[in-house]
A and B are shown apart, each in its own frame.
Chain A
Amino acid sequence: MISFDIIIIGGGHAGCEAAWITSEFNLKVGLITLPDVGLASAPCNPAVGGVGKGQVVREIDALGGLIGKLTDLAGIQYRILNESKGYAVQSTRAQIDKDLYSKNAEILLSQKKNIEILKDEVFKITKISNSDTSNHNNIYTLECKSGLKINTKKIIVTAGTFLNAKTHIGKTQKNEGRVDKVATCSLNELLNHNTGNFLRFKTGTPPRLKMKTLNYGKFIEQKSDTRALNFHWNNDPYKRNLAQVSCHLTHTSEKTMQIIRENQLLSPVFNGQIKGVGPRYCPSIEDKGDRYPDRNIHHIFVEPEGLSLDTIYPNGISTCLPKDIQKSFIQSIEGFEKAEIEIFGYAVEYDVVDTFKLHLTLEHKNMPGMYFAGQLNGTSGYEEAAGQGLIAGINSALSCLRRPPFVLSRESSYIGVMIQDLVTIERDEPYRLFTARNENRLYVREDNTINRLFHSRQSLNLFSEIDIYQKKYIEEFTVLEQALTFKKYYTNQSTRNYFKEKGYGDLNSIITLADLIRRSSLNPVETLTKELTRLGLSFMPEVILSVAISEKYKGYIKRNEIDKDRIDRFNNKKIKWENLVISENISNECRQRIKKIQPHTFGQLKRMDGIRPATLAYVARDLI
Chain B
Amino acid sequence: MDHSQSGPIIACATGENNSSAISIIRISGFDILTQFQNYFATNLSFLKPRHVYHTKLLHPLEGKLIDDVVLTYYQGPKSYNAENILEISCHGNPFIIKNILQLFIVNSNVRKAEPGEFTLRALENKKLTLSQVEGLDLILNSQSNFCINEGLKSLCGELHDAYLQLEKLIVRLCSSIELGIDFIDDVGEESFESEKDRSIRDLQDFLERLHERASCEYSTLLSPEIVLFGPVNAGKSSLFNSLLNNQRSIVSNQAGTTRDFITEYINLEGHHFKLVDTAGLRDTKEVIESEGIERTKSLRDLCFYSVLVIDPTDPNFKKDFQQAKDFDLCILSHSDRFDFSESLLKYSALFSNKKFLKANLTDIGPIEPFSGIGPIEPFSGMAPIEPLPFGVGRLKADVWSKYSKLQEKSPIILPRHREQINSIYLRFKRFQSLIECETDMAIISNELNLLSIEIQTLTGVFTQSQVLNNVFENFCIGK
Interface set of A (CB-CB < 8 Å, partner B): 51-52, 81-82, 84-89, 281, 299, 301, 434-436, 441-442, 520, 553, 556, 559-560, 563, 566-567, 570, 585, 613-614, 616-618, 620-622, 624
Contact of A281 among B126, B183, B438 (CB under 8 A): B183
Q: A51-B182, A621-B130, A624-B130 are in contact. Are A86 and B440 (CB under 8 A)?
A: yes
Determine if B442 and A566 form an interchain contact, defined as CB atoms under 8 angstroms apart: no
B184 at the interface (CB under 8 A from A): yes
B439 at the interface (CB under 8 A from A): yes
Give Cα distance in the complex from A259 to B461, angstroms. Answer: 47
B250 at the interface (CB under 8 A from A): no
Determine if A442 and B462 form an interchain contact, defined as CB atoms under 8 angstroms apart: no
Q: A299-B186, A620-B460 are in contact. Are A613 and B168 (CB under 8 A)?
A: yes
Give Cα distance in the complex from A566 to B182, angstroms. Answer: 27
Determine if A441 and B442 form an interchain contact, defined as CB atoms under 8 angstroms apart: yes
Query: Residue on B with the closest CB to A562?
Result: B450
Determine if A436 and B439 form an interchain contact, defined as CB atoms under 8 angstroms apart: no
Determine if A617 and B460 form an interchain contact, defined as CB atoms under 8 angstroms apart: yes
Cβ contacts under 8 Å, A436 to chain B? 178, 181-182
Q: A85-B442, A88-B443 are in contact. Are A299 and B460 (CB under 8 A)?
A: no
Query: Residue on A with the closest CB to B177?
Result: A436
Give Cα distance in the complex from A597 to B461, angstroms. Answer: 21
Cβ contacts under 8 Å, B178 to chain A? 434-436
* Nearest 10 CB-CB pairings of A with B: A86-B440, A88-B442, A85-B441, A620-B461, A434-B182, A436-B178, A613-B167, A617-B459, A89-B181, A89-B442
For window 415-435 of chain B, which residues contact chain A by CB distance below 8 Å?
none
Contact of A617 among B186, B445, B461, B464 (CB under 8 A): B461
Q: A299-B188, A621-B123 are in contact. Are A614 and B164 (CB under 8 A)?
A: yes
Cβ contacts under 8 Å, B4 to chain A? none
Q: A563-B450, A617-B164, A624-B465 are in contact. Are A520 and B438 (CB under 8 A)?
A: yes
Per DSSP, chain B at the interface is: helix
Contact of B443 among A442, A614, A622 (CB under 8 A): A442
Determine if A435 and B462 form an interchain contact, defined as CB atoms under 8 angstroms apart: no
Cβ contacts under 8 Å, A281 to chain B? 183
Listed A/B pairs (28) with beta-carbon separation below 8 Å: A81-B184, A82-B184, A85-B440, A87-B442, A88-B440, A88-B441, A436-B181, A441-B445, A441-B446, A520-B437, A520-B438, A556-B446, A559-B450, A560-B450, A566-B462, A567-B453, A570-B461, A613-B164, A613-B167, A613-B459, A616-B461, A617-B129, A617-B163, A617-B460, A617-B461, A620-B461, A621-B126, A624-B463
For window 150-190 of chain B, which residues contact chain A by CB distance below 8 Å?
160, 163-164, 167-168, 171, 178, 180-186, 188
Query: Residue on A with the closest CB to B178?
Result: A436
B468 at the interface (CB under 8 A from A): yes
For window 122-137 of chain B, which residues contact chain A by CB distance below 8 Å?
123-124, 126, 129-130
Give Cα distance in the complex from A50 to B243, angstroms. Answer: 77
A405 to chain B, nearest CB (A): 30
Contact of A87 among B440, B446, B463 (CB under 8 A): B440
A192 to chain B, nearest CB (A): 40
Could you say which interface size class chain B belongs to? Answer: 35 or more
Give Cα distance in the complex from A478 to B163, angstroms. Answer: 47
Cβ contacts under 8 Å, B464 to chain A? 566
Give Cα distance in the complex from A217 to B192, angstroms. Answer: 28
Determine if B462 and A570 form an interchain contact, defined as CB atoms under 8 angstroms apart: yes
Instruction: Indicate the member of B123, B167, B461 with the most A CB atoms within 10 Å.
Output: B461
Determine if B441 and A82 form an interchain contact, defined as CB atoms under 8 angstroms apart: yes
State the total of A-B contacts with C-beta under 8 angstroms: 107
Determine if B441 and A89 form an interchain contact, defined as CB atoms under 8 angstroms apart: yes
Contact of A84 among B439, B453, B456 (CB under 8 A): B439
B196 to chain A, nearest CB (A): 12
Query: Residue on A with the closest CB to B167?
Result: A613
Additional A-B contact list (9), CB under 8 Å, known A281-B183, A613-B459, A620-B456: A51-B184, A84-B439, A299-B185, A553-B443, A556-B443, A563-B453, A617-B163, A617-B167, A617-B461
A488 to chain B, nearest CB (A): 26
Give Cα distance in the complex from A585 to B181, angstroms. Answer: 34
Query: Residue on B with the closest CB to A436?
Result: B178
For window 108-153 of chain B, which residues contact chain A by CB distance below 8 Å?
123-124, 126, 129-130
Cβ contacts under 8 Å, B183 to chain A? 281
Give Cα distance in the complex from A400 to B135, angstroms. Answer: 63
Give Cα distance in the complex from A88 to B186, angstroms. Answer: 20
Q: A87-B440, A299-B185, A617-B164 are in contact. Are A585 and B126 (CB under 8 A)?
A: yes
Contact of B442 among A86, A559, A622 (CB under 8 A): A86
Query: Residue on B with the closest CB to A617?
Result: B459
Cβ contacts under 8 Å, B130 to chain A? 621, 624
Instruction: Indicate the member of A84, A614, A617 with the most B CB atoms within 10 Å.
Output: A617
Give Cα distance in the complex from A392 to B167, angstroms. Answer: 40
Determine if A618 and B453 form an interchain contact, defined as CB atoms under 8 angstroms apart: no
Cβ contacts under 8 Å, A553 to chain B? 443
A38 to chain B, nearest CB (A): 28
Cβ contacts under 8 Å, B442 to chain A? 85-89, 435, 441-442
Cβ contacts under 8 Å, A559 to chain B? 450
Cβ contacts under 8 Å, B163 to chain A? 617
Q: A436-B182, A620-B460 are in contact. Are A613 and B126 (CB under 8 A)?
A: no
Cβ contacts under 8 Å, B437 to chain A? 520
Cβ contacts under 8 Å, A434 to chain B? 178, 181-182
Give Cα distance in the complex from A140 to B60, angstroms. Answer: 73
Cβ contacts under 8 Å, A570 to chain B? 461-462
A171 to chain B, nearest CB (A): 29
Cβ contacts under 8 Å, A621 to chain B? 123, 126, 129-130, 460
Contact of A86 among B167, B441, B460 (CB under 8 A): B441
B31 to chain A, nearest CB (A): 20
B464 to chain A, nearest CB (A): 8
Determine if A624 and B468 form an interchain contact, defined as CB atoms under 8 angstroms apart: yes
Give Cα distance in the complex from A556 to B439, angstroms. Answer: 14
Instruction: Indicate the member of B167, B462, B463 with the most A CB atoms within 10 Å.
Output: B462
Give Cα distance in the complex from A220 to B188, angstroms. Answer: 15
Give Cα distance in the complex from A99 to B126, angstroms. Answer: 61
Determine if B182 and A52 form an interchain contact, defined as CB atoms under 8 angstroms apart: yes
Cβ contacts under 8 Å, B439 to chain A? 84-86
Cβ contacts under 8 Å, B185 to chain A? 81, 299, 301
